[in-house]
Amino acid sequence: MITLSPSGMHCAKGRFHVDPWRNCDEALITHAHSDHARIGAKLYHCTPGTAALIALRLGSVSIQTHEFGEKFKMHDTWVSFHPAGHILGSSQVRVENRDEVWVFSGDYKRDADPSCEPWETVECGTFITEATFALPIYVWEPTKVVVRDIFEWWQADRESCSILFGYSLGKSQRVLAALTEFTDRPVYVHGAVAKLTEIYRSHGVKMVPTRTLAEGEGAKLKGELILAPPSAHRSPWMKRFPNPQTAFASGWMQVRGQRRRHGYERGFVLSDHVDWPGLLQTIEETKAKNILITHGQSAVLGRYLNGKGWTASELQTEFAAEGEA
């Protein structure tokens, strides 16, 4: 029911694309990260949370919102969005035509995350899944455990500021929300994080207080925590902070040597993508017979699933793995 076209994943029966990477008439958007939500569609369909984020990122575009679980007709298909647990508003797309049901996962995770709607398993005949961390080495600790480590790392150094680098949309808000279990102290945020965080607040996500950085304020922030995107690391922006301690929050920190290779003093394994056990659990729970695999370790996952009795194959998309978007 869903095939690849020059514009991306296309459903001919519904006359729409899902997360297209070229111009099209109607697009169903799973979430607001830049590799999935791009400019070029005449009309965007998505959840209210995603709509608020893509309006900020894409500017003045035509958007029609749909609540989770709401079925709406797209020509010869019925479509609905279901929570993916990736970031605020992130969704899976369920497409139904007669007795045929397909589900595209988008990016997703199974771990509890106080900043977004939790994952919902949707049964289907064909499941299209990401495979960003589809290797057995990737097994995540619970969010609370990792953020407690981040809090303790921050509290251990009162003589310099602590700068935690992480993606401005999703990762930063997840940390801010999870920190409410340990503190009510304000956290300073880079400008790239600030507006996105306010959208999360407007959708009812509880987070610790945040403050934006004033020009020349860096030297006064001893003992404070600052959240910033990876693009700020080793940039002129860093010159305002004398001798900060630095860390990076990402699933890639599970791999030995990644922290040193990128010049961070500390790495925290915190990913907004599903880990290996969660990936296999999800595929089993969907009861799908056919598995299509998009970005990430798609070849590895395909070989594994075919060896276990599924019918699995790769889809060559333009989506990016975490850290490449």
So what's the pLDDT on residue 130?
Answer: 97
- Predicted confidence at residue 81, as pLDDT, reads 98
User: What is the structure's pLDDT at 215?
Assistant: 65
Classify burial at 288, counting beta carbons within 10 Å of its beta carbon; exposed 0-12, middle 13-18, buried 19 or more. buried
Q: Is residue 229 part of a domain?
A: yes
Q: What is the pLDDT of residue 321?
A: 65
- Structure confidence by residue, pLDDT tens digits, 195-220: 999 999 999 999 999 999 876 677 78
CATH number at residue 247: 3.40.50.10890
Residue 236 domain flag: yes
CB atoms within 10 A of CB 230: 18
Task: Report pLDDT digits (tens) over 78-129.
Answer: 999 999 999 999 999 999 999 999 999 999 999 999 999 999 999 999 999 9
Are 139 and 116 within 8 A, CB to CB?
no
Output the domain CATH number for residue 25.
3.60.15.10
Residue-averaged pLDDT of the chain: 94
CB 216 within 8 A of CB 185: no
Look-up of token digits 């697009």? 27
Q: For residue 76, what are the domain limits?
A: 2-137+273-314
- Quick one: pLDDT band at residue 173, thresholds 50, 70, 90? very high
Q: List pLDDT tens digits, range 19-67.
A: 999 999 999 999 999 999 999 999 999 999 999 999 999 999 999 999 9
Element (H, E) at 237: none
Distance CA 302, CA 277 (A): 15
Do 322 and 272 form a contact (C-beta atoms < 8 A)?
yes
Q: What is the pLDDT of residues 230-284, one digit of tens each?
A: 999 989 999 989 899 999 999 999 987 776 667 899 999 999 999 999 999 999 9
Q: Is 157 exposed, middle or buried, given 0-12, 13-18 or 19+ CB atoms closer than 10 A?
A: middle
Q: Are residues 131 and 277 located together in one domain of the fold?
A: yes
Query: Alpha helix locations (H) across 102-235?
Result: 143-156, 171-178, 191-202
Do 112 and 16 lie in a common domain? yes
**323, part of any domain:** no
Say yes or no: 37 and 113 in one domain.
Answer: yes
Backbone angles phi, psi at 124, to 5 degrees: -160, 175
Residues 66 and 165 in one domain: no
3-class DSSP state of 270: coil
Per DSSP, the chain holds a count of helices (H) and strands (E) of 7, 19
**Residue 321 in domain:** no
Q: How much is the pLDDT for 220?
A: 82
210 SS3 class: strand
Shared domain check, 96 and 157: no
Q: Given this model, what pLDDT does residue 262 score?
A: 72
Same-domain check for residues 104 and 189: no
Q: pLDDT by residue (tens digit) across 286-298? A: 999 999 999 899 9
DSSP label at 181? G
How much is the pLDDT for 324?
Answer: 41
Q: Are residues 11 and 132 in the same domain?
A: yes
How many structural domains compose the chain?
Answer: 2
Which pLDDT score is estimated for 217? 76
Average pLDDT for 160-188: 97
Instruction: Give the confidence band of 325 by pLDDT, cuts at 50, 70, 90.
Output: very low
* CA nearest neighbour of 52 among 82, 32, 28: 32
Closest CA to 292 of 134, 138, 133, 130: 130
pTM of the model: 0.95
d(CA 202, CA 112): 21
